[in-house]
Structure 1
Amino acid sequence: MTDIGFIGLGNMGGRMTRRLVDAGTRVRGFDPQPGAAEAAGADPAPSAAELAAGSDIVFLSLPDSHVVEAVVLGDDGVLAAARAGTVIVDLSTSAPASTRRLHDLAWERRVGYLDAGISGGAAAAEAGTLTLMVGGELEELEKVRDAMSPFASNVFHVGGPGAGHTTKLLNNFLNAIALSATAEVMVAAKKAGLDLATVLDVFNKSSGVNFATLNRFPKIITGDYLKGGLTNTLMMKDVVLYTELLSELGVAALNAPAPLAAFGLARQLGYADQISNTVVDAIGDVSGGIRLHDPEEGE
């Protein structure tokens, strides 16, 4: 039986862990937040190193590369304790250059390292329908594919080390563009006196259709912000990582200023740790106090 450990049991990691547990898998979990492991149904581990020492697969779901490096490379970290043959699966959104370095250091110790960017958000994590874009050796992916199945319905091998996190940054940038641009348009539609449900119906049958018009704003206009997903701070972090990636590649980042401005505005106006869908409220705040949903108007 495969021993699975999960480090980072927040919005996404906790939901993925719960999917594993509900599928009948015993999971050991570690998170600095007291009670996080128990809330996700995992057996709490006292440290990342102790968890790694007893695991065949170690999943990571952490905020950024700095935290990943600290957890993996620290004196009481994963790599110091992991057995040869262990596979580390980094589900975080990390800088590809950092990921490649961690992969090489792990490989020197005969430990596998996969970067597995995720897409789908909290709802998909709960439903077990996440999409994973995985970089690293294909044979290492095959070792862990079955362990991913309770929380991911689409698993793509996209290339070598770092390719998963590269693909994730490209995808997240398109997500950021769609969300911030649609938020601006919907504030304009509200201020113009248009019926928002009808406007979305039009967009979704027209060339402006995107993930935000299909999946986010039909809920937002009823007052449901789909809490539990990526915060404005994390969305901005991903856009910054995207610009750094394009700089490394020598590609002009011509479209980056708009989402940087939108999510930066949201952070400055007090929405930093709220779900990134609240960027529409930040834009509304500086556009005359506009809200897409007025409880007094009903649904």
Structure 2
Amino acid sequence: MSKNIGFIGLGNMGGRMTGCIVRAGQAVLGYDAKTENIAAAGATPADSAAAVMAGADVVLLSLPDSRVVEAVVYGDSGILAAAREGQVVIDLSTSAPDSTRAIAADFAARGVRFLDAGISGGAAAAEKGQLTLMVGGDADALASVDDVLGYFASNIFHIGESGAGHTTKLLNNFLNAVALSATAEVMVAAKKAGLDLATVLDVFNKSSGVNFATINRFPKIITGDYLKGV
């Protein structure tokens, strides 16, 4: 059965994920506080977040944090009030697990299944449709929307119950931050020692010091293209 897809939050990540869905030939009903983001992603504009909820079977959220998610869910023209039984809502935001579980319970009371889907891979992977998702919530609900998620994700893991996906996302972010910080310190030391940084990175990437930062970030950062390296 075909699904009507809605997307709320079409910024740096959400816009790219929406673009993947649209390029696959699927229409997306979209809403963003910046209306220009809707057109840029190729979505059909909705007047409000509630209008997206009213017009879609599967609704995806890509918002900055739990505070914004809660405002979209519970605020004026919020999506909870517009929810109807049988819908699936997927929160792709970086959200607090406790907030996620509370929201999931409120949607469940209305017959709506809520999945928390932490994402990893950044804008480059989102553009290519190669994100990794770590999903918490009902396994059957995830199975019912894996085709939608497959438009922009190449790896989808069911982690466990509600909140487990966002918990795993936070843990991944912590580990990534540690590796990034440590790599930055090492690269500064290498520069002070007069070493060729490109060669040092080649060594690390063939050795036990290899990590996401050495492969994907610092090859760009050392050439001065910092924004593309983060």
TM over 0.5: yes
Gaps of 5+ in 2: none
Structure 1 position 221, deviation (Å): 1.6
Bigger mean CA offset, 67-76 vs 93-102: 67-76
Counterpart in the other structure of 2:192:
191
Counterpart in the other structure of 2:7:
6
Counterpart amino acid of residue 132 in structure 1: L
Matches of 2:52 and 2:208 in 1, distance apart?
49
Query: Does the CA contact (< 8 Å) of 2:94 and 2:169 recur in 1?
Result: yes
Equivalent positions of 1:52-67 (< 5 A) are 52-67=53-68
Matches of 1:126 and 1:18 in 2, distance apart?
8
Counterpart in the other structure of 2:93:
92
The Cα offsets for residues 194-241 of structure 1, whole Å up to 9 and x where unpaired, read as 1001111111122211110111111222233354xxxxxxxxxxxxxx
Counterpart in the other structure of 1:77:
78
Counterpart in the other structure of 1:19:
20
Counterpart amino acid of residue 148 in structure 2: A
Counterpart in the other structure of 1:40:
41
Counterpart amino acid of residue 61 in structure 1: S
Matches of 2:33 and 2:185 in 1, distance apart?
37
Counterpart in the other structure of 1:28:
29
Counterpart in the other structure of 1:205:
206
Runs of 4+ off more than 3 Å: none
Aligned to 1:81, the other structure's residue is in SS state: coil
Gaps of 5+ in 1: 228-274, 278-299
Counterpart in the other structure of 1:162:
163
Q: Is residue 2:225 matched to residue 1:218?
A: no
Equivalent positions of 1:173-188 (< 5 A) are 173-188=174-189
- TM-score (structure 1 length as normaliser): 0.75
Query: Does the CA contact (< 8 Å) of 2:8 and 2:30 recur in 1?
Result: yes
Count of residues paired in the alignment: 229
The Cα offsets for residues 263-294 of structure 1, whole Å up to 9 and x where unpaired, read as xxxxxxxxxxxx8x3xxxxxxxxxxxxxxxxx
Counterpart amino acid of residue 174 in structure 2: F
Normalized per residue, the structure richer in strand is 2
Matches of 1:55 and 1:158 in 2, distance apart?
26
Counterpart in the other structure of 1:114:
115
Bigger mean CA offset, 38-47 vs 72-81: 72-81
The Cα offsets for residues 137-170 of structure 1, whole Å up to 9 and x where unpaired, read as 0011011110111100100000000000000001
Aligned to 2:167, the other structure's residue is in SS state: helix
Query: Does the CA contact (< 8 Å) of 2:92 and 2:118 recur in 1?
Result: yes
Counterpart in the other structure of 1:150:
151
Matches of 2:185 and 2:12 in 1, distance apart?
26
Matches of 1:133 and 1:225 in 2, distance apart?
28
Counterpart in the other structure of 1:256:
none
Matches of 2:43 and 2:226 in 1, distance apart?
28
Aligned to 1:153, the other structure's residue is in SS state: strand
Matches of 1:225 and 1:148 in 2, distance apart?
30
Aligned to 1:80, the other structure's residue is in SS state: coil
Structure 1 position 187, deviation (Å): 1.8
Counterpart in the other structure of 1:246:
none
Aligned to 2:111, the other structure's residue is in SS state: coil
Counterpart in the other structure of 1:124:
125
Matches of 1:226 and 1:205 in 2, distance apart?
25
Query: Does the CA contact (< 8 Å) of 2:29 and 2:55 recur in 1?
Result: no
Matches of 2:201 and 2:160 in 1, distance apart?
37
Matches of 2:45 and 2:77 in 1, distance apart?
16
